[in-house]
Amino acid sequence: MTKPLIALVGRPNVGKSTLFNRLVGERVAIVEDVPGTTRDRLYGEFEWNGRELAVVDTGGLLPDRAEPISEDIYAQAQVAIEEAEVIVFLVDVRTGATSLDREIADLLRRTRKPVVVAVNKADNVQQEIGALEFHELGLGDPVAFSALRGISTGDLLDRVVELVPPAEVEPSNPEVARVAIVGRPNVGKSSLLNVLAGENRSVVSPVPGTTRDAVDTDIVYDNREIVLVDTAGIRRPGKVGLGIERYSVLRAMRAISRADVAVLVIDATQPLVAQDAHVAGFVQEEGKGLVVAVNKWDAVEKESNTMAEYERSIRHQLRFMPYAPMVFISAKTGQRVERVLDAALSVREEREKRVPTGPLNQVVRHILAQHQPPSSGGRQLKIYYVTQVGIDPPAFVFMVNDPELVHFSFRRFMENRLREQFGFAGTPLRLYFRARGKGRT
């Protein structure tokens, strides 16, 4: 299910970043009293009244675009507005409705999207009354609140949830595999999709950032239905260029959230960089399967051990995901591209694998007999039994005497041993250690 997107917009210095930080529960956005501090859109998720929502913070809207950076911020915010289901228009009760607020209100009315006028910095009764003047913006009843102090933020979110469209669950068909093609800009993602689909479904250009939307393509491969999702190139937040490309990052990450397996496309003619690891890390955080596709392999001068050296180098830099299968391809020539789908379908099957409790505990007992569990303060970890509690990704609960005795190294050790015995290639595993009669740890 794709989470409805809420866009926070308004002129500079009205508290958008403060509200964003409160919603997502951590200090992500930079908060300063200097107008224009937030120049990158930020994306987060939160839950209210049982609804899971996504929120995007934007730079301050400056319709006059007097400065170059203001023009960029304005373009970014416009894209966020177009994508959002509900717009939260923040204004400042202390300044009253300004001419810039009125310009922004005119812009928002033309979108024909639900808008909530959020009157920020209303810290007392007098200021709550003063918020009524924002009726003049013609966008409905304003909601007075304080993002900094948390006053009436619940009322604001209640209004937002009322305007969010009913939850729509994407049709779930266990026979259909959803595969997102991800990676940095200009590594050949669209070229790969075109080859796999057998037709030109995405624009292919040497200019980084050509693909701005996530595009679904239905294909049949080896009698299996597959949905391919081509995404805009992902860069680290600090390296993303100005303009619409920034918002493409958000769309790509939402596409990963909708997929079963992500294919991380890497350019063989360039060294692996931090951005590639950043993308892989997001795939892991989302609990999705991963296939690493090393593209442009036809352009690499080769010796007898070139492929092995490349794989060793890439795995060293993606060492937090050693379980991901790797294929060397050329989208340009079609070399080995079918292996991408073979690997993705195999990973999809591994994500749905279930291990019976009996064999699982037998293996764990054998592992513990060969490797003594950790101890601390004279107490040793005891594992009473293990059971698989979920799939997609596979999840296991270990009932133990004290979860605090589980070191990170032991958790990784146990994960590696389970992979040796049962496979799970390409998919993250979730291991939970729970004390008897207590909650998940």
Please tell me the pTM assigned to this model.
0.66
Please determine, for residue 110, whether its predicted confidence score (pLDDT) is greater than 90: no
The predicted model gives 157-178 an average pLDDT of: 80
Tell me if domain 5-163 and domain 357-435 are identical in fold. Answer: no
Residue 129's Cβ-side half-sphere holds a number of Cα atoms within 13 Å equal to: 2
Residues in the chain: 441
Give, in degrees to the nearest 5, the angle at Cα 256 between 251 and 260.
Answer: 150
- Report the run of H or E that residue 266 belongs to, with start and end: strand 261-267
Least confident of 87-96, 106-115, 384-393: 106-115
User: Residues near 197 by Cβ (< 8 Å), separated by ≥ 6?
Assistant: 217, 219, 228
Dihedral of alpha carbons 63, 68, 73, 75, sign? positive
Query: Tens of pLDDT along 342-365?
Result: 999 999 999 999 999 999 999 999
Query: Tens of pLDDT along 43-73?
Result: 678 889 888 888 888 765 655 544 443 454 5
CATH class of 5-163: alpha beta
Q: How do the domains of the chain map onto residue ranges? A: 5-163, 176-350, 357-435
Mean pLDDT for the chain overall: 82
Query: Tens of pLDDT along 194-235?
Result: 888 885 554 454 544 444 445 578 888 988 989 888 665 444
Superfamily of 176-350 according to CATH: P-loop containing nucleotide triphosphate hydrolases (3.40.50.300)
The predicted model gives 177-193 an average pLDDT of: 87
Q: Is the bond preceding residue 428 a cis peptide, omega within 30 degrees?
A: no
Superfamily of 357-435 according to CATH: K homology (KH) domain (3.30.300.20)
pLDDT at 161: 93
How far is the C-alpha of 122 from the C-alpha of 132, rounded, in Å?
A: 11
Instruction: Please return the burial class of 322, using the count of CB atoms within 10 Å of its CB with bins 0-12, 13-18 and 19+.
Output: exposed
Please answer whether residues 57 and 17 qualify as being in contact, where contact means their C-beta atoms are separated by less than 8 angstroms. yes
pLDDT at 28: 42
